[in-house]
Homo-oligomer: A and B are copies of this chain.
Amino acid sequence: MRRSRLSPERERELCEAVVDMLQEVGYDALTMDAVAARTHSSKATLYRQWKSKPQLVATALRCTKPILLEDIDTGSLRGDLHEIVRCSEPSRERDAALMRGLAQAVHEHEDLQEALRELLVYPEIEALNALLGRAVDRGEIAPGTPALRYVGHIVCGAYVARPFIEAKEPDLEYLEDFIDAVILPALGV
């Protein structure tokens, strides 16, 4: 059997199909058989490319993000943080629905939790830390500012908390205000 890799276009097509199926049937009902049938590929191809269902799902979520944090560098901390929420806006509702759907599955499947962390969360946290490191280098944030280790937590919380507390989705206006009212002051900016 030839072990050719998929083309980037084909990989993206598969990832989009996986995310669509996740939204339609949820994680538990998503099977490699169903993905193979839907995308007209063989299960061997899927397993060769992604090894397991959790890794396929985590890769699909990452690959369909409209922008990755590592691509953001506006030259100022405030500019970077506002750019993050602006770039997330087009997929915000979809992402929120996906995360709600995955919340229980993540708790039940250790391997899914690990795959999401390794392929989705850690790379973004690393990129966020690089972005914050640049702000420290530019002298915008004092080195060793305690809130530096929690910026990812605060951003994540901003998205998650609003529906609970205000019964509203975290729209762009709210997220931009949250950055200026909470994140920058916490960092002493």
List the interface of chain A (C-beta within 8 A of B).
100-101, 103-104, 107, 113, 117, 121, 125, 146-147, 149-150, 152-154, 156-158, 160-162, 164-165, 167, 177-178, 180-183, 185-188
What are the residues of chain B within 8 A of A152 when measuring CB–CB?
A: 161, 165
Interface of A is mostly: helix
- The residue that A154 contacts in the complex, of B101, B113, B164, B182, with Cβ under 8 A, is B182
Copies of this chain per assembly: 2
Are A154 and B157 in contact (CB-based, < 8 A)? yes
How many angstroms from the CA of A161 to the CA of B154 in the assembled complex? 8
What are the residues of chain B within 8 A of A147 when measuring CB–CB?
A: 181-182, 185-186
- The residue that A178 contacts in the complex, of B100, B153, B165, with Cβ under 8 A, is B153
How many angstroms from the CA of A186 to the CA of B121 in the assembled complex? 25
Q: Can you list 25 pairs linking A and B with CB atoms under 8 Å apart? A: A100-B104, A103-B104, A117-B167, A146-B181, A146-B185, A147-B181, A147-B182, A147-B186, A150-B178, A152-B161, A152-B165, A153-B157, A153-B162, A153-B178, A153-B182, A154-B161, A154-B182, A156-B160, A157-B157, A160-B160, A160-B161, A183-B186, A185-B185, A185-B186, A185-B187
A122 to chain B, nearest CB (A): 9
